[in-house]
């Protein structure tokens, strides 16, 4: 056999070996062998047999000039297809038929939805619709603040949604977490700070949005009745707005956790109970502030200060384990010389970002306005003025629950403290 014949024969062997390389993995998966892997091959050839060895190439004395017309059916086009298929098959991992997308959000991003345009005149505008992320927040059992339905919040979601902070929540029954917009992103206004006219506009849009949350409109009907009831309770002067706003937030949170039937009578009773709870909290805060003021005057120095401290010993709610100068130490910044409700510091004592602030005489977190127990931060112990809510027992300097503020664990202790 001449050298050219051997080269041609080796080309056929290499082609058959490529087909075998493609056929064996398919057989291992019990997949059907494509017909093009066996067409044109000698009788008895299978795409799953062992590979053939190539012929040795012995250099002949003279090479005859002739055309290699005996390559058979392996045209350049056929060879290119075979090589392309082999490269794709061997270089990529095969995917299972039941593979699912990694997350619903990625699958949504991959789609190209149709855009429906609306004809509007000059000066006219269309209503801003809440993004579908709001539905995902609700169904993942996260509270949806009414402040998300203000115009600024909806514009923010539509124009800069990818820059918002995100959380992960369970959506559906697949037991997988998906990224969601964080409803407590600081760029959203806090719902307990909304003015009535802003709240009223957001409430109307929220009631419409709630109709999309279930199949029969139960949530939407409750939301519409509840928000309308709250709206009618606001007087012309608006002096009861803080109470109604707080009541609205509390009822929507409770309904989300445990849906209950709306009725005018039950809502009236719930409002009275909510008002009593707020009054108790305010009374406790006022008593704590008065006790702190008394403690401050008692620790003012001199014999008179000592006598005053003894005469008012029955009004010291934080006497167990309380530092003598705790009242003159700010629980917001850690500096001495002013109370927490008079703090104007921009950083913590010794540097660092502030964690807490004071609203209406109460210490709350800067992010989310969540309450922090001032009595516990002074002594590190629960007292008669403490609500005994462990969630509020967090250091007002750093937010950790392992220590209280005046333990000076995270902030340098003043020399006179």
Share of the chain above pLDDT 70, in %: 70
Contact between 305 and 299 under an 8 Å Cβ cutoff? The reply is yes
**pLDDT by residue (tens digit) across 292-351?**
777 665 554 444 444 344 433 333 333 333 344 444 789 999 988 888 888 888 889 888
Rounded-to-integer distance, Cα 92 and Cα 98, Å: 17
Rounded-to-integer distance, Cα 294 and Cα 283, Å: 16
Prediction pTM value: 0.45
Backbone angles phi, psi at 275, to 5 degrees: -65, -40
Rounded-to-integer distance, Cα 126 and Cα 272, Å: 40
Rounded-to-integer distance, Cα 398 and Cα 349, Å: 12
Contact between 332 and 354 under an 8 Å Cβ cutoff? The reply is yes
If one compares 107 and 36, the residue with the highest pLDDT of the two is 36
If one compares 180 and 61, the residue with the highest pLDDT of the two is 180
For the segment 189-208, the average pLDDT, to the nearest whole number, is 92
pLDDT, residue 191, reads 93
**pLDDT at residue 64 tops 50:** no
Rounded-to-integer distance, Cα 337 and Cα 341, Å: 12
Helix, strand, coil percent content, the chain, rounded in steps of 5: 45, 5, 50
* pLDDT band, residue 58 (cuts 50/70/90): low
Q: Which one of 134-148, 258-272, 308-322, 343-357 scores highest in mean pLDDT?
A: 258-272
Lowest-pLDDT range, 216-225, 331-340, 376-385?
A: 376-385
One DSSP character per residue, 97-160 reads: TT---S-HHHHHHH--PPP------TT--PPPPPPTHHHHHHHTT----GGGGSHHHHHHHHHH
- CA distances in angstroms from 305 to 219, 252, 292, 298, listed in the order given: 60, 50, 14, 5
């Amino acid at each position: 056999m001449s050298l050219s014949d051997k080269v041609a024969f080796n080309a056929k062997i290499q082609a058959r070996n490529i087909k075998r390389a493609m056929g064996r993995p398919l057989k291992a998966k019990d997949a059907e062998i494509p017909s093009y892997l066996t067409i044109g091959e000698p009788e008895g050839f299978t795409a799953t047999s062992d590979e053939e060895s190539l012929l040795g190439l012995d250099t002949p004395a003279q090479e005859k000039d002739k055309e290699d017309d005996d390559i058979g059916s392996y045209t350049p086009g056929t060879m290119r297809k075979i090589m392309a298929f082999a490269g794709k098959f061997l270089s990529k991992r095969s995917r299972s038929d039941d593979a699912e997308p990694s997350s619903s959000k990625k699958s949504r991003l991959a789609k190209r939805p149709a855009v429906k345009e609306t004809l509007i005149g000059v000066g006219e505008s269309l209503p801003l619709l809440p993004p579908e992320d709001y539905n995902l927040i609700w169904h993942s059992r996260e509270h949806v603040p009414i402040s998300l339905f203000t115009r600024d919040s909806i514009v923010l979601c539509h124009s800069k949604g990818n820059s918002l902070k995100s959380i992960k929540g369970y959506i559906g029954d697949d037991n997988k977490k998906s990224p969601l917009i964080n409803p407590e992103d600081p760029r959203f206004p806090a719902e307990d700070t909304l003015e009535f006219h802003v709240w009223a506009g957001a409430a109307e849009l929220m009631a419409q949005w709630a109709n999309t949350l279930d199949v029969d409109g139960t949530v939407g009907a409750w939301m519409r009745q509840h928000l309308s009831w709250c709206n009618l309770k606001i007087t012309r002067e608006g002096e009861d707005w803080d109470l109604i706003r707080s009541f609205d937030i509390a009822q929507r949170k409770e309904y989300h956790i445990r849906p209950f039937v709306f009725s005018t009578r039950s809502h009236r009773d719930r409002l009275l109970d909510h008002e009593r709870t707020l009054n108790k909290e305010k009374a406790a805060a006022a008593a704590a502030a008065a006790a702190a003021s008394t403690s401050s005057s008692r620790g003012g120095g001199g014999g008179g200060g000592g006598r005053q401290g003894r005469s008012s010993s029955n009004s010291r709610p934080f006497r167990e384990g309380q530092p003598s100068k705790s009242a003159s130490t700010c629980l917001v910044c850690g500096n001495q010389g002013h109370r927490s409700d008079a703090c104007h510091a921009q950083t913590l004592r010794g540097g660092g970002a502030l964690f807490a602030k004071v609203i209406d005489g109460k210490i709350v977190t800067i992010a989310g306005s969540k309450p922090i127990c001032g009595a516990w931060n002074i002594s590190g112990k629960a007292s008669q003025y403490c609500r005994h809510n462990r969630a509020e027992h967090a250091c007002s300097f750093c937010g950790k629950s392992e220590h209280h503020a005046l333990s000076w664990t995270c902030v340098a202790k003043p020399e006179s403290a």
